[in-house]
Amino acid sequence: MSESKIQKKFLDLYYKQGYRIVGKNQHSAVKICRWTKESLRHNRFCFKEKWYGVESHRCLQCTVSLSCLNRCIYCWRTFHPFERGMDIKKIDEPSGIIDELIRTQRLLLTGFKGNIKVDKKKWKEAQNPTNAALSLIGDSILYPKISELLEEFHKRGFSTFLVTKGTSPEKLKTLEVEPTNLYISLCVPDKETYMRVDHPLVKDGWKRMNESLELMKSFSCRTVIRLTLVKGLNMKDPEKYAKLILKAEPDFLEPKGFVRVGESQKRLPMESMPFHEEIVDFARKLSKFTCYEIKDEFKPSRVVLLGK
């Protein structure tokens, strides 16, 4: 099958799943977050609003890189079919990407205006998002102009959440502009589990991730380690997680329960989803082996916040 046909197949699949690919070179995407919808329809908000001051109805859930260097078994997203990475000669400019992401988000929000359940004041505010969650799909740190993109977002009054798997420490090392929140997704306690769960596309993925953890403490922005926990897979050995966490010295930890949606349904059974109480129990164990204490929890998302 030709490259163009494969690309068309995946573009159609992304569209059906609610994604909208933006930009001439098709390496960026936006999708309305569940919590943006909840905020508009039911005045409910996500943990980012509760803990970090992000208004759920004004959050831009997006990516500037559909590529990722991992194929995590628990991932609910659709993997991009190409493994060669992004062609640095064919990328869209930061300002243009942001314009297109906002324009496309507005189009996706159009239908909410006529919904009688939607708060009209919030709907109007949602037309001008104030936070960019660079966490939708892929790994946005792979975008060659990520520093310029963060700077442009900040110039426009946005806060930014940059989420990475930590497989590209060289990108972290050369990041000239820090995000508001830097997340590293740490979802394994050891190398054996890493190879079995994260399926890195690079041979030295475990080494790279450890290098990224070492770099995290050098950042002055808010830093967070996210643990997506799957029963029977990586929800184990809290003392090993603790050693990796202490290496990074993040401001906060977010152990969060795996949700069996999207493509993950093809790879993992329903029993893989932990109950919120099990996440809280695991958080207590993490607290025991680290200097972090439980600060709060958010049951709708099965997530716990730990801080120093």
Q: What is the pTM of this model?
A: 0.93
Beta strand spans in the chain (E) = 20-22, 28-30, 59-63, 131-134, 159-164, 181-185, 222-229, 252-257, 293-298, 303-307
Q: Check: CATH 3.20.20.70 for 13-307?
A: yes
Domain boundaries, the chain: 13-307
The fraction of the chain above a pLDDT of 90, given in percent, is 85
Neighbours of 22 (CB within 10 A): 25
pLDDT tens, residue by residue, 66-79: 889 999 999 887 77
pLDDT tens, residue by residue, 227-270: 999 999 999 999 999 999 999 999 999 999 999 988 888 899 99
How would you class 263 by CB atoms within 10 Å of its CB: exposed for 0-12, middle for 13-18, buried for 19 or more? middle
The closest of 295, 193, 198 to 238, measured between CA atoms, is: 193
- pLDDT score recorded for residue 3: 40
pLDDT tens, residue by residue, 18-49: 999 999 998 999 999 999 999 999 999 999 99
